[in-house]
Amino acid sequence: MTEPAYVEAVALEKFYVMPHGKVEVLKGMSLQIQRGEHVCIMGASGSGKSTLMHLLAGLDTPDGGEVRIEGESIHTWKESKRANFRAKHIGVVFQNYHLLPDLNVLENVLIPARALNTWREPASDVVALAKSRLKSVGLLHRLEHRPVELSGGEQQRLAVARALINEPEILMADEPTGNLDAETGDQVLDDLFRLSEEKKRTLVIVTHDPRLAARCHRTIRLG
């Protein structure tokens, strides 16, 4: 028997019912991603890239079809099991970051680590790891800042550092360098690809940037 794909979408459908009619975003999308693959998702604005990424991460429910991880249909799981799986195995960089406004930079990076532990105060090795992630995205001098006190690109780099803190098996990133100048973007990506190679991590990256797409093993096009 052949191994199931690591992450798989089978005939995925997503639509929104709006007052003026139905908006069909995904109409039977299927894809397979193997463990350790670096896949990029491209397509015009509005073609459904973010929608697809949220479905693959189990953050949204399809209207038809299913998402399977290691052959298991994740939408048959209870929400608590899905949330737990996500916390342990999936890192997500959202297109609009979803940073928590009342937490500072260090506290924001620690959110996924906190989700896996019950501590009140993080252990010193977890704080050291958080700082090393922030150092690699050039934010070590901004630990006490809140997101509103950061530039757009700094917020984006914080979102990347946060997604990587647990060294997730699967990293899903929605235009992770869209707000960065070429040099800073390259530094963030060098770090991200180096980590992914070293630890054989699976990457799913939404981008409009052909240079980033060229660094991935494969491109999936929507629309």
Ligand X SMILES: Nc1ncnc2c1ncn2[C@@H]1O[C@H](COP(=O)(O)OP(=O)(O)OP(=O)(O)O)[C@@H](O)[C@H]1O
Q: Which does 138 bind (CB under 5 to 8 A by kind): Mg ion, ligand X, none?
A: none
Q: Which does 23 bind (CB under 5 to 8 A by kind): ligand X, Mg ion, none?
A: ligand X
Residue from 4, 36, 43, 122 binding ligand X (CB under 6 A): 43
Q: What residues between 95 and 124 interact with ligand X by CB under 6 A?
A: 95
**Under a CB-based contact definition with an 8 Å cutoff, are residues 57 and 163 in contact?**
no
Which amino acid makes up residue 10?
Answer: V
What are the C-alpha distances in Å from 7 to residues 46, 92, 104, 130, 159? Answer: 23, 15, 33, 28, 23
Return the number of the residue (64 or 71) whose C-beta is nearest ligand X.
Answer: 64
Return the number of the residue (26 or 139) whose C-beta is nearest ligand X.
Answer: 26
| Rounded Cα gap, residues 199 and 222, in angstroms | 29
Q: Which does 1 bind (CB under 5 to 8 A by kind): Mg ion, ligand X, none?
A: none
- Nearest 10 degrees: CA dihedral of 50, 12, 220, 17? -40
Q: Which does 119 bind (CB under 5 to 8 A by kind): ligand X, Mg ion, none?
A: none
Residue from 12, 25, 39, 99 binding ligand X (CB under 6 A): 25
Counting runs of H as helices and runs of E as strands, what totals does the chain give? Answer: 7, 9
Q: What residues between 69 and 98 interact with Mg ion by CB under 5 A?
A: 95
Pairing label, strands 72-73, 170-174? unpaired
Which amino acid makes up residue 205?
Answer: I
Residue 177 near Mg ion by CB under 5 A: no
Query: Near ligand X by CB under 6 A, which window of 47-55, 58-66, 134-142, 161-169?
Result: 47-55
Q: Which does 51 bind (CB under 5 to 8 A by kind): Mg ion, ligand X, none?
A: ligand X
Residue 93 near ligand X by CB under 6 A: no
Residue 207 near Mg ion by CB under 5 A: no
Neighbours of 216 (CB within 10 A): 19
Which amino acid makes up residue 138?
Answer: G
CA-CA-CA-CA torsion sign (165, 167, 172, 174): positive
Residue 50 near Mg ion by CB under 5 A: yes
Residue from 6, 12, 37, 48 binding ligand X (CB under 6 A): 48
Residue 16 near ligand X by CB under 6 A: yes
Here the tokens at position 161 are 């550092």
**Under a CB-based contact definition with an 8 Å cutoff, are residues 67 and 51 in contact?**
no
Question: Which residues in this chain contact Mg ion in the complex, by CB under 5 A?
Answer: 49-50, 95
Question: Which residues in this chain contact ligand X in the complex, by CB under 6 A?
Answer: 16, 18, 23, 25, 43, 45-51, 95
